[in-house]
Amino acid sequence: MKLNRVVVTGLATVTPLGNDLASSWQNLLAGKSGIGPITRFDTSEFITTIAGEIRDLDETPLIDAKASRRMDRFTRYAVYAALSAVKDAGLTIAPADEPEVGVIIGVGLGGLETIEICHKKMLETGPRRLTPFFIPVLIANMAAGQVSIYTKAKGINLCTTSACASGMHAVATAYTELKLGRAKAMICGGAESTITPLAVAGFNALKALSTRNDDPTRASRPFDRDRDGFVMGEGSGILILETLEQAKARGARIYAEVVGCGSSGDAYHMTAPPEHGEGMALAMKAALREAGLPPTEIDHVNAHGTSTALNDLCETRALKTVFGDHARKLAITANKSMTGHLLGAAGGVENVFAVKTIYEGIIPPTINLDNPGPECDLDYTPNQARKKDVTYALSNSFGFGGTNCCVLFKKFEE
């Protein structure tokens, strides 16, 4: 079987740092936080009152008002980012090509906002007043479904749901489809929007969220001694992947090449990683093994870096396990210090940023890293972006249920 080379030709994001990739990337490099007080609902009785919200996004240039009303917020973010990524790639999906283009978008929780609104209405007005769009609007795979409808992509249409690794698994699966020759192009990434009363209360019950409400921009602090939990974010990150053959045939700009992916399971606990990050290490090793690379070839790691006590410690231990002495030579970054944790969208957004890091030759900082925590003694690019020529970048995502996924990117060479 012929195995195809796979390249990245299009990128787009909608994040708390900006409503397009240009502004998100600029603010990321500047170390600007997208975290602030929650404005969507009354938080007076909540333990956590801050999040990374999308603000002032005008979807009408790409999504008409009637269609928008029949989409949950996470789906609108996915469609907006996907159409922007297709445009960025200069990809025209002609009728003859439609079966060769697929869509895989990871979503962790789906339409919680729709569930909460419709449940309240049903209790107030009765079950017969429920909209017929309730179920199709809330289901997690509607992000991929609507993107397919809007782009006319008729290849594989799939939602990966693996908690906070959902977006990363989507990109890894899309890469595999292209490598095996099952498609010529893929629209892939992640989307999420769960800044709702139920979600915030639920994560508070888990004691997973930061309560640094009086200082929102400094609340998310991966690898810092004073981290006290993650900060919820929302948005979407979408990549256009193509076989190298197709990309070259149409003269596409190539941002980077995808050279490996790795997945694993902790087989340990519902929400906590094992003490030394064994599953995280297995996923990283698998990505390196597929690419045929020794650990010493990796220049940069886009860390999962959630700002929780266990994740950051275990990810650091896993990096030391995989990379040995080379771990101290890695330029590591944690985007969640500025975006918050986008849950199912995190892998999509952070893959976009990892590719931009290779393409632009600059490492985004990890902000709010003032006093590294015990054992968190690697180079996390604290508080200031750094120019660096990056050939290989590894992107990590880990999720509840012990699900782990990594994707490895390479600077493109003929």
Which residue among 118, 188, 304, 406 is the active-site one?
A: 304
DSSP state of 297: G
Identity of residue 49: T
164 is catalytic: yes
Residue 10 near residue 85, CB atoms below 8 Å = yes
Backbone angles phi, psi at 106, to 5 degrees: -85, 135
CA 69 to chain centre: 25
d(CA 240, CA 351): 11
Q: How far is CA 166 from the centre of its chain?
A: 8
User: Do the beta carbons of residue 176 and residue 261 sit within 8 Å?
Assistant: yes
| CB-CB contact of 11 with 250 (8 Å) | no
131-140's contacts with Cβ under 8 Å and 24+ in sequence apart are 133/70, 137/70, 137/71, 137/72, 137/75, 137/111, 138/72, 138/110, 138/111, 138/112, 138/114, 139/110, 139/111, 140/107, 140/108, 140/109, 140/110, 140/111, 140/344
Task: Note the helical H segments in 126-236.
Answer: 134-138, 142-151, 166-179, 197-205
Residue type, 213: N
Kindly tell me the sign of the dihedral angle through the C-alpha atoms of 67, 69, 70, 71.
Answer: positive
Residue in 118, 159, 164, 261 annotated catalytic: 164
Q: What stretches of 221-261 show up as alpha helix (H) in DSSP?
A: 244-249
- The C-alpha R_g of the chain, in whole angstroms, comes to 20
- Marked catalytic residue, from 300, 341, 376, 405: 341
User: What residues pair up with 264 in beta bridges, in sequence order?
Assistant: 404
Active site residue 341: yes
Query: Residue-wise over 284-304: b if at least 16 C-beta within 10 A, else e?
Result: bbbbbebbebebeebbbbbbb
User: Has 304 been annotated as catalytic?
Assistant: yes
Q: Do residues 72 and 137 touch, judged by C-beta distance below 8 A?
A: yes
Active-site annotation, residues: 164, 304, 341
